[in-house]
Amino acid sequence: MRYHGAVIRPPSEASSLIVQVTYGCSNNTCDFCGTYLHKPFGVRPFEEVVDDVIGLPSGVRARVRRVFLADGDALVLSSRKMHDILDLLHRALPSLERVSSYANARNLLAKSVEELTGLRQNGLDLLYLGLESGDDQTLAGVHKGMTVAEQIEGCRRASAAGIELSVTAILGLAGITRSREHAKATGRALSAIDPAYIGILTLMLTPGTAMERRVTSRELVLPDSIGMLRELREIVAGLEVTDCLFRSNHASNYLPVGGRLPHDKHAMLAALDKVLLAPESVQLRPESWRLL
């Protein structure tokens, strides 16, 4: 398998075969994201994808159960190209059970529910989407390039098509001045999306990004670790979801919290309240241990 540049995937895809079908991200505007700063967006020639997949040793092909399509928003590909890729994967990988990729709202809004249903029926099972915030002012401030309403509608189409969603939001994204609004609105937007998985990350400053420059110049002042946990509590308190695996155990977070919602909501809130009332009673992840 050949890869162009650094390739990332969600932690839950650690054991998946990563098949690169695009390069970079078709959006690439977000102030906080340094992943594709130096990788212009492009579509990988399909022939190369075929060569890589067919070229795997047959013993490896027989064992692949999960595939993650890289890079940053493989769903930007047309439905025809996505079907070509899914057909190839099902032909070449006899044990394949799940195909997933990153996606953004614009990718989803470019496809009808019928098109997405066709992709679901051809094996596209799960999409990872970065909501980042449920607050339009915060999204505009970090140049996400998509509104909350667009993100909710894009996700609605995926859900209507039967595609599972894993949605992430980022603590600290609005700085201290809009911290509460960001958190409250994020709880509301996540509830409206009602995904199968929610992941909460804490903002990390990537060198070379606009966000790093804004924080370094003090144009944006970030909440401290306790302020980040207050945002997390506000998000959890606002969540009204049907059946969701909630995690804030990413390496960027100061405190791992997780559970199945709505069942574990009160226990999660109680755990967070305990920390917020007596921060010295808990060992938060040291700043130097936090990772992207």
Which residues of the chain form contacts with ligand SF4 (CB under 6 A)?
25, 27-28, 30, 33, 35, 72, 104, 130
CB nearer to ligand SF4: give 33 or 261.
33
CB nearer to ligand SF4: give 28 or 79.
28
Q: d(Cα 285, Cα 112) in Å, to the nearest integer? A: 43
Does residue 262 have a cis bond before it (omega within 30 degrees)?
Answer: yes
CB nearer to ligand SF4: give 53 or 163.
163
Cβ atoms 13, 100 nearer than 8 A: yes
Cβ atoms 199, 168 nearer than 8 A: yes
CB of 30 to ligand SF4, least distance (A): 3
CB nearer to ligand SF4: give 6 or 60.
6
Cβ atoms 84, 117 nearer than 8 A: no
The phi, psi pair for 42, rounded to 5°, reads -160, 160
CB of 274 to ligand SF4, least distance (A): 32
Q: d(Cα 232, Cα 201) in Å, to the nearest integer? A: 9
Tokens of 134: 């449920």
CB nearer to ligand SF4: give 74 or 271.
74
Q: d(Cα 135, Cα 238) in Å, to the nearest integer? A: 14
CB of 110 to ligand SF4, least distance (A): 14
The β-bridge relationship of strands 197-202 and 66-70 is unpaired
CB of 172 to ligand SF4, least distance (A): 15
CB of 130 to ligand SF4, least distance (A): 5
